[in-house]
Structure 1
Amino acid sequence: MNFLDAWRKRHAMARGTAVYVSDDADPEGIAELLAECELLRVRAAQQGLELDDSPASLEALDQLPPRWRDDPEELPWFGNDAGLYLGTVIVRTVSGAHWHLWPSGTPVVMLASGRDIEVVGAGLDWAATGAPELSQVYAEASEA
């Protein structure tokens, strides 16, 4: 474990993105912003994977060699993007799913059942350890 990782754990640093918007913000515009995931899309393309916002692309991401773990500075950004991408796939393919912002500004996916999925946290965990797999989180969301 390197110094930065140890420091973050000791200081309980916040994980992921925070979004603050006005009450009249356009939900579709927010969804498009969260769907950008530029770093993830670039790194996936460098490994020959085009992300098409489909559940199959999550399975393909799960199979990539975790080269992003070689760069401790990039890893949290990559994991953040992985979580936002996971959320984008869920919102675009699971009936009734939509983005929701917690009071802290954390973007989560709310399912039709009312259950929130903290997709950024799942993406960060996946990027750091490989678990849970993105496709597994998606499968659980699509069954809920």
Structure 2
Amino acid sequence: MDIPFLGPWRKRHAAASAAKAPPPGPAREGLAELLAECELLRARAESADVTLDDTPASLEALDQLQPGWRDDPEELPWLGNDAGLYLGTVITRTVPGAQWRLAPDGTPLVALDSGREIDVVAAGTSWAEDGTPELSQMYAEVDEG
């Protein structure tokens, strides 16, 4: 049976489900490694003697950094992006079932088993701009449920 409106509906839903998560295996691992690089944030942390070891404790240490980047309008968005990607890295490596997902527009999100999706880059940008929410607070909210 040919129902004209089902063709576009199927295409939209097929595209949406294909965008849910990267395929298992090397592609997913490669994406996770790429998103975990966060070079600018890692350099800032290293210069402040903060070790970024992909643990919740490192998020607490980042929350304590002096926000000198706020004086540099060129560095601010890059550092915020890195902070969000690092937050996502900690979540995906320590919260069971959490995984990276790319939104249709390419925005990296963290998908939780509960179905909740977190725009970690937006959270990191907000943290870099005004310190809220704290990265450790965002992690605690995710880890609780």
TM-score under structure 1 length normalisation: 0.82
**Match of 1:141, as an amino acid?**
V
Bigger radius of gyration among the two: 2
Q: How far off is 1:121 after superposition?
A: 0.1
Q: How far off is 1:38 after superposition?
A: 0.3
Q: How many Å separate the matches in 2 of 1:46 and 1:32? A: 22
Q: Does 1:72 align with 2:80?
A: no
Q: Secondary structure at the match of 1:26?
A: helix
Q: How far off is 1:23 after superposition?
A: 6.9
Q: CA distance change for structure 1 residues 23 and 60 in 2, over 3 Å: closer, same or farther?
A: closer
Q: Which residue of 1 aligns with 2:140?
A: 139
Q: How many Å separate the matches in 1 of 2:124 and 2:85? A: 7
Q: Which residue of 2 aligns with 1:124?
A: 125
- 1:95-126 C-alpha deviation (Å, 9 max, x unpaired): 00000111011000001101001100000000
Q: CA distance change for structure 1 residues 28 and 66 in 2, over 3 Å: closer, same or farther?
A: same
Q: How many Å separate the matches in 1 of 2:101 and 2:144? A: 19
- 1:36-67 C-alpha deviation (Å, 9 max, x unpaired): 00000001100111100000000000011101
Q: List structure 1 segments (4+ residues) > 4 angstroms apart after TM superposition.
A: 22-25
TM-score under structure 2 length normalisation: 0.82
Aligned alpha-carbon RMSD (Å): 1.4
Gaps of 5+ in 2: 1-21
Q: How many Å separate the matches in 2 of 1:54 and 1:83? A: 14
Tell me the number of residue pairs that the alignment of Structure 1 and Structure 2 aligns.
123
Q: How does 1:90-101 map to 2 (within 5 A)?
A: 90-101=91-102
Q: How many Å separate the matches in 1 of 2:62 and 2:88? A: 14
